[in-house]
Amino acid sequence: MRRWPLLLLCLALAACAPRPKVLRVCADPNNLPFSNARGEGFENRLAELVAHDLGRKVEYVWWAQRRGFARNTVKAGRCDVWPGVATQLEMLATTRPYYRSTYVFVTRADRPPVSSLDDPYLRTARIGVQLVGDDGANTPPSHALARRGIIGNVRGFTLYGDYSQANPPAAIVQAVDAGDVDVALAWGPLAGYFARRVAHPLRVTPVQPWLDGPQWPMVFDISMGVRKDDLKLRDRLDRVLATRRADIRRLLDAYGVPVVEDPGAPVEPQ
């Protein structure tokens, strides 16, 4: 009985102890190599790294990354940060970029290599391109091909894919592996990751020219996004990203992400 006061004191102190602050991260539960519900994506790993340095614990808000993602998550106040957004996305305040990547050509190593949108091979090859959204909106490579009159031999792969299956965006890379298309034009982080996980050796080559007319860049800076009224968090994230630059680069390399140091310079081999 003499121990009861001590026990009650311990319980009271535990109840009053400050709980670790939470960093609420918006993420897609089925979107490798970026994120999934098992925490296997590189944006999952980055979120954990950043939260650690902020003295916070990650708490995910899962939402399929479709049109309206930002409106239903960050802007609605359900979460604090969205990793992996295009730098200077108008609807959010974005950090300084933590990497820059590029659209790439994906071909089998036993097929002709492609490095330019002006390669004559593209006029006869079976080409896979990524489409965004249920309305099939075109990505920059799709517009670049259309501008060259390359249309009839192009097959679209929706970026969303069949969400009932694991890793739906991988379909375009798997089509190259299976020989269903000769060459695919895909976003580099996705292509670099899945190119390592198929039966045949694949070649991943940056799309050139990197700027196909002023409105169709193939290279994009990537940042973290927060609400526009949460500049304090953005600034703290900036400091962590700067301090952890080398760690982030190693993380990207581990996932096969093609990193462009300068848009006019070649991508470092993976």
Q: What is the DSSP letter of 79?
A: -
Q: How confident is the model at residue 2 (pLDDT cuts 50, 70, 90)?
A: low
Can you point out the beta strands (E) in the chain?
21-27, 30-31, 35-36, 56-62, 81-86, 93-94, 99-108, 127-132, 137-138, 154-158, 183-187, 202-206, 219-226
Q: Which two tokens stand for residue 174?
A: 């798997």
How far is Cα 5 from Cα 19, in angstroms, rounded to an integer?
A: 24
Mean pLDDT, residues 76-98: 94
- Decide if 104 contacts 204 (C-beta within 8 A): yes
How far is Cα 155 from Cα 131, in angstroms, rounded to an integer?
A: 10
Is residue 121 pLDDT above 60, yes or no?
Answer: yes
Write the CB contacts of 28 (distance below 8 Å, at least 6 apart in sequence).
34, 35, 36, 62, 63, 64, 65, 69
- As a whole number, the mean pLDDT across the chain is 89
Give the class (CATH, top level) of 20-99+220-254: alpha beta
Which three-class secondary structure state does DSSP give residue 176? helix
148-162: pLDDT as tens digits: 999 999 999 988 878
How far is Cα 145 from Cα 147, in angstroms, rounded to an integer?
A: 5
pLDDT value, residue 183: 98
pTM for this model (two decimals): 0.88
What are the residue ranges of CATH 3.40.190.10 in the chain? Answer: 20-99+220-254, 102-206
Is residue 41 pLDDT above 60, yes or no?
Answer: yes
pLDDT value, residue 18: 52
Would you call 180 exposed, middle or buried from its count of C-beta atoms within 10 A (0-12, 13-18, 19+)? middle
CATH of 102-206, one of 3.40.50.720, 3.40.190.10, 3.40.50.2000, 3.40.30.10: 3.40.190.10
